[in-house]
């Protein structure tokens, strides 16, 4: 196993909780690497999410096909140092309600559910880490729900650029439009207005 990749995860964890040298060593044993190329699926709607996935590098989109229009509705993007899994599907081992696909070559660290629980038993301090990750994600979801209700597309797009500049660089605008909840054409007009004002 590439030491560099798991070190990146360890660094991320150390940003939130402390680990002993021994715990760090143990941690390494639970994870395996995976590489996706552009277009590969990490998870398909209806399948069970068997692994929790940490993104070392790359970009993914989580989406759902709108049965009316046949188009993708973007739920979220995920890039370096984010987690990308259908949490509820992973927890309850039930079918996922959305799909996750690579937007470019992506390196992952993966852990299965049994390994995940063994790891938490052996390194209880990680419970705190995963709680913090979940709480933070929950907070950002709630914030984005409020913003969707209160802000215009223009405000949300500006906010999105400020908050996730790395995503704007990697992802085509018609997908960002879907994430923001408008058509690609409308976002195009918004961007034009931003240019001239």
Partner DNA sequence: CGCGGGTTTGATGATGCTCAAGCCCGGTGG
Partner DNA sequence: CCACCGGGCTTGAGCATCATCAAACCCGCG
Residues at the site binding DNA, with contacts judged by CB under 7 A: 69, 152-153, 172-174, 181-189, 191-192
- Is 1 a binding residue for its own copies by CB under 8 A? The answer is no
Q: Residue 76 or residue 157: which is nearer to DNA going by CB?
A: 157
Pairing outcome for strands 59-65 and 72-79: antiparallel
d(CA 38, CA 105): 5
How far from chain centre, in Å, is Cα 85? 7
Q: Residue 28 or residue 173: which is nearer to DNA going by CB?
A: 173
Q: Which of 101, 117, 118, 106 is nearest to 80 (CA)?
A: 106
d(CA 75, CA 54): 18
Contacts with its own copies, 134-163, as mask; x by CB under 8 A: xxxxxxxxxx-xx--xx-------------
Integer angstrom CA distances of residue 179 from 30, 62, 186:
33, 10, 13
d(CA 181, CA 148): 8
- Which residue in 30, 31, 54, 98 binds its own copies (CB under 8 A)? 98
Task: Identify whether the C-beta of residue 171 lies closer than 8 Å to the C-beta of residue 59.
Answer: yes
- Is 73 a binding residue for its own copies by CB under 8 A? The answer is yes
In the complex, the smallest distance separating the C-beta of residue 55 from DNA, rounded to whole angstroms, is: 20
Question: For 123, which DSSP code?
Answer: -
Out of DNA, its own copies, none, which partner does residue 174 contact, by CB within 5 to 8 A per kind?
A: DNA
Out of DNA, its own copies, none, which partner does residue 127 contact, by CB within 5 to 8 A per kind?
A: its own copies
Out of DNA, its own copies, none, which partner does residue 48 contact, by CB within 5 to 8 A per kind?
A: none
Q: Which residues bind its own copies (CB under 8 A)?
A: 64, 66-68, 73, 75, 86-89, 91, 97-98, 124, 127-128, 130-132, 134-143, 145-146, 149-150, 181
């Amino acid at each position: 196993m590439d030491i560099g990749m798991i070190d990146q995860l360890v660094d991320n964890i150390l940003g939130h909780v402390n680990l002993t040298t021994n715990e760090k060593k143990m941690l390494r044993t639970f994870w395996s690497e995976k590489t996706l190329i552009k277009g590969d699926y990490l998870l398909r709607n209806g399948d069970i999410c068997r692994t929790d996935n940490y993104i070392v590098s790359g970009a993914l989109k989580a989406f759902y096909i709108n049965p009316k229009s046949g188009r993708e509705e973007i739920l979220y993007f995920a890039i370096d140092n984010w987690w990308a899994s259908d949490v509820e599907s992973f927890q309850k081992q039930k079918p996922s309600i959305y799909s996750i696909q690579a937007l470019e070559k992506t390196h992952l660290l993966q852990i299965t559910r049994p390994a995940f629980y063994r790891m938490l038993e052996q390194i209880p301090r990680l419970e705190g880490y995963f709680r913090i990750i979940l709480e933070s994600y929950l907070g950002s979801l709630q914030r984005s729900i409020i913003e969707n209700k209160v802000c215009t597309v223009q405000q949300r797009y500006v906010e999105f650029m400020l908050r996730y500049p790395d995503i704007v660089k990697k992802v085509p605008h018609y997908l960002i439009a879907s994430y923001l909840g408008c058509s690609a054409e409308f976002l195009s007009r918004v961007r034009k207005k931003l240019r001239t004002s």
